[in-house]
Amino acid sequence: MHQEGMSPYSEGAVPDNGEAEQLALAKLFEAFGAARDLKKNAFVFRSEEESQEIYFVQDGLVKISQFAQEGQSITLFLRHKGEVFGAAEVLTGQKRQRYARCIADSRILSIPASSFTDLLKRHPDALYALTVANARRLLQTQRYVETLISRPVAWRLAQLLLQLGVRAGRETVVTLPISHEEISYVIGCSRQTVTETLGRWRDEGIVRYEKKTVVILDTDAFQQRV
């Protein structure tokens, strides 16, 4: 957390855990990007569109999804505040392979593809940040595949909830931005299993669960248990 009155991009602090890369990319998009405020369920881009812009989540949450057989939609990635998305097709000259849709009211910054590569050449810190961010994503994808193979569903669901939640003292409050079905696609199980696991945790007194809100009552104990 930066001090009140200070810019989050002020010199002096050396963030870690990817924050340095996020700050460099945020500065680039805030300086050269156009802002759009999009409502929940609004599309940022659709499959098969020409790849004309690169995007940055200034606020909100975006899902990257694709349609499978019989029109079924599968959520592949979630892009959180501070993350870039939509760069791969632009840099490789391809049409959009998937679609991006807001799952919460979001503020999205975009830079035209025609100027993005030139900006990266003029701002090597942003180029480095994008390279590191992509490397992190590759490692995350590898860990994700390993997790789907080796970890039980309850563990995978718990990790997703902890990622989406906001901790306040012992509790972690998760306002679910996606349906049980979409959660099942993300963690690789059936919708019924997601619902049953949340119901079991509620019956055991581990969580409070109503509609789209899950409250993990004791976060540390929850992490050790699952």
Instruction: Tell me the CA distances in angstroms from 77 to 6, 54, 91, 160, 207, one per residue in order.
Output: 32, 16, 19, 12, 25
Question: Would you state the pLDDT for residue 188?
Answer: 78
Mean pLDDT of 145-165: 82
Mean pLDDT of 190-214: 92
Q: Which of 65, 119, 58 is nearest to 91 (CA)?
A: 119
Tell me which of 32 and 142 has the higher pLDDT: 32
How far is Cα 86 from Cα 84, in angstroms, rounded to an integer? 7
Q: Is the pLDDT assigned to residue 147 strictly greater than 90?
A: no
Mean pLDDT of 198-213: 91
Q: What is the per-residue burial (b if ≥16 Cβ within 10 Å, else e) of 86-107?
A: bbebbbeeeebebbbbbbbebe
Question: Would you state the pLDDT for residue 8?
Answer: 27
Domains detected in the chain: 19-149 (2.60.120.10), 152-225 (1.10.10.10)
Q: Is the pLDDT assigned to residue 219 strictly greater than 70?
A: yes
Both tokens of 31, joined, read 């300086």
Tell me which of 177 and 168 has the higher pLDDT: 168
* Residue percentage of the chain with pLDDT more than 70: 88
15 Rama sector, left if φ>0, alpha if ψ -120 to 50, beta otherwise: beta
Question: Would you state the pLDDT for residue 164?
Answer: 85
Query: How does pLDDT run across 71-124, given as a tens digit for each residue?
Result: 667 778 889 899 999 998 998 889 998 999 998 899 999 999 989 989 999 999
Is the pTM above the cut of 0.85?
no
Q: Which of 196, 32, 181 is nearest to 103 (CA)?
A: 181
Confidence category of residue 226, pLDDT binned at 50, 70, 90: confident
199: Cβ contacts below 8 Å, ≥ 6 apart: 209
End-to-end Cα spacing for the chain:
29
Question: Would you state the pLDDT for residue 71?
Answer: 62
Query: How does pLDDT run across 40-78, given as a tens digit for each residue?
Result: 999 999 999 999 999 999 999 999 988 766 666 777 888
What does the mean pLDDT of the chain come to? 84
Question: Would you state the pLDDT for residue 149?
Answer: 67
Helix (H) or strand (E) holding 220: helix 219-225
Question: Would you state the pLDDT for residue 21?
Answer: 81
